[in-house]
Chain A
Amino acid sequence: MLYVRFSFIILSIGLMSSIPEESPRLVFISRFVFHGMLLIDFINVFRHNYSFGRFMAYGGVIVSGFLTFIDICGMAGLLLIKSGKHGVFIFTGNHEYTVMKIVPTITAENFILYSSLAMIYVCGWELIHRVKRPAQAVEPTTESVT
C-alpha cells in the first residue's frame, strides 16, 4: 500500500500542475485542497511518532503549511497567475496592494515545478521509515519507534 500511496501523490500533483488558460486562479483552489489534506496528515504523524518520524513530520508541516499559506493568499486575490508576454504565465503579487510589491515575479511554470518537487522530497522519506497513524490504535511510547 505504501508504493500505491506514493504513486498516487505523484500522479495527483502532476495532474494539478496544468494551468487552465481561461481562469488561472483555479490552480490555487485545487492545490489548496491537496496541500491542506497533506498538512492534516502530517500533523497526525507528528502526534504519534518519535525520532525520525517526528523529523519527517516537521519537514512536512513546514513545507505543506507554507504552500497552503500561498494558496490561501491566491484564493483571496493577493497573489496572481496571469498571462505575460508570448503567452507565458507569470506568478506575481497583486500590485493594487502596496505590501504585495515585495513578492518577486517568476514564471508560473517554475513556481509549480519547484513547489511540487519540494512536496515529493518530503513525502519520499516515508519509503524508508514506518510511521504510525492514530487509526492503527498503537500506544505511544517514549522509546524510539522501530
Chain B
Amino acid sequence: MILFNHLDLVCYTILASVVSGIFIKIYMENQSLIKATIIFLYLPIFIVTYPVYHFTQIYKYRSDMLRILKKAEISEEKKRKVRKSLSSKRSIAFHVLKSLVLNFRLLLDVYIEVSAESYDTILGKSLDEMKKAVFDDTKDTYIWAI
C-alpha cells in the first residue's frame, strides 16, 4: 500500500493534470499563446458565475416549472424526483452543483468556443477599436435616453 500512504501527492497530481490539461486544450484549439492565457485566466469567473446564474433562474421560475410538471407525460417516479429536487433551496443548490460536476467537459467546450468568439470581436483589438466596438453595441440605448 505504498500509494495510499501518499494520498496527498495523488491529490496534487490530479489537480496539476486537470489545470495543465485545460491550458493545453485551450492552446491547441486557438493556436496562440496570448489568446490562450487570457481565455484561461477568465475561466474561474465562469466557474463561479455559472452555478449562481443557474440557481437564480431555477429559483425564479420554480412555480412555473411545477405547473408544467403536472401536465407533463412522464412516469410518477420521475415526477416525484423532480418535485423533490425543487422542494428547497438546499436541494436546488445540490442539483446545480451536481450538474456542474457531471457536465463539466461539455460546459468547458462551450466556454472555449464562446470566449474565442468574444476575444475576436472585443478583447483582441487595440484600445480605440475596443472603445468603438463597445460604443456601437450601446449606441441605441444612449439615443433612447436622450
Residues on A facing B (Cβ under 8 Å): 2, 10, 13-14, 17-19, 51-52, 55-56, 109, 112-113, 116-117, 120-125, 127-130, 144, 146
Contacts and interface: CB of A to CB of B under 8 A. Distances in A.
B28 A52 contact: yes
A122 B17 contact: yes
Contact of A128 (B9, B13, B22, B29): B22
Contacts of A123: 17
Contacts of A51: 28-29
Nearest to A50: B28
Interface residues of B, number: 24
A17 to B, nearest CB: 4
B68 interface: no
Interface stretch (B102-110, B124-132, B135-143): B102-110
B17 A113 contact: no
14 contacts: A17-B2, A51-B28, A52-B29, A112-B2, A113-B3, A113-B9, A116-B3, A120-B10, A121-B17, A122-B17, A125-B17, A125-B21, A127-B17, A128-B21
Contact of B13 (A112, A124, A127): A124
A120 B10 CA distance: 8
B21 A120 contact: no
B108 A121 contact: no
B16 interface: yes
Given A14-B1, A17-B1, A17-B3, A130 B105 contact: yes
Contacts of A120: 10, 13-14, 17
A127 B102 CA distance: 10
B23 to A, nearest CB: 10
A125 B109 CA distance: 14
B25 A128 contact: yes
Contact of A113 (B2, B22, B113): B2
Contacts of B109: 130, 146
A14 B29 contact: no
Given A117-B10, A146-B109, A124 B3 contact: no
Contacts of B24: 52, 55
B10 to A, nearest CB: 6
